[in-house]
Copies of this chain bind each other. A is one copy, B any other.
Amino acid sequence: MPPVDRSVVADVALFAGLGPAELDEVLREARSVRYPKDSAVFHQGAEADSFFVLLHGHLRVEKTTPQGQQIAVRYVSPGEIFGVAQALALKHYPATAVAAVESIALCWPSAAWPRLTAKFPSLAASALQTVGSRLQDTQARVIEMSSEQVEQRVAHALLRLAKQAGRRIETGVEIDFPISRQDVAEMTGTTLHTVSRILSAWEQQGLVEGGRQRIVLRDPHKLFALAEGRIPSARSGG
């Protein structure tokens, strides 16, 4: 009685190495869960009793600092595995995952992980690649934050969001879930005030198009040049 059909995970990289029968066996242990907008999939510090694969929607992963400030670590897009704390030898989730929009995820008990990876080694290899690429992304962010100005960091953040959750519309590329200036600020390590100023300046130049919890990139190419520092500044030169 598998409630989860193979077709819904056709493009999940984690399962790329599995045959149909194997896939059914893995899916048999999963259940599909729906998360309303703004509800938490798991909380930072909670016991890591499950791991997940996102099927539909978008999640925001955030950490809370000792001082209580929240930082957006990354966003999860459909097809990604997340909450694999168990595989990293963590007893508790290191961050909180919140549904940015209504989302659906597959959910396995953490206890299933060792068994599944032992039986299907390609799962471990896939997970290693996923975590590795996440490490690359995170290191890239460290480098950004070390060496770049706020404006370039915001540009990078928007480009990254557009890349993983962008949707083409007539006037450009729209980020496919509600995102506030506060969220962008949390991603780039600045304040919503500064983000607001920067986006206003960009909007005047036709680089982006704003709105309430909505951002459209009208000129991603120019934005990229700006992120690379090949344009002096978008705020001074009018």
Contact = CB atoms under 8 A, between A and B. Distances in A.
Contacts of A134: 135
Given A118-B121, A132-B131, A189-B145, A139 B63 contact: yes
A236 interface: no
Interface string A6-36: 0000000000000000000000000000000
A89 interface: yes
Contacts of A141: 142
A188 B145 CA distance: 10
Interface string A92-104: 0011000000000
Quickly give the copy total for this chain: 2
A127 interface: yes
A71 B84 CA distance: 29
A157 to B, nearest CB: 12
Contacts of A139: 63, 73, 94-95, 138
Interface SS of chain A: helix
A139 B189 CA distance: 13
A88 B132 contact: yes
A88 B128 contact: yes
Contact of A133 (B88, B125, B138, B186): B88
Q: Which of A90, A94, A141, A143 has the most CB of B within 10 A?
A: A143
B146 A145 contact: yes
Interface of A: 63, 65-67, 69, 71, 73, 84, 87-90, 94-95, 117-118, 121, 124-125, 127-129, 131-136, 138-139, 141-143, 145-147, 186, 188-189, 228-229
Given A84-B132, A127-B128, A142-B142, 15 more contacts: A65-B147, A66-B228, A71-B143, A71-B147, A88-B128, A89-B129, A89-B133, A94-B136, A117-B121, A118-B121, A128-B131, A135-B135, A135-B138, A146-B186, A146-B188
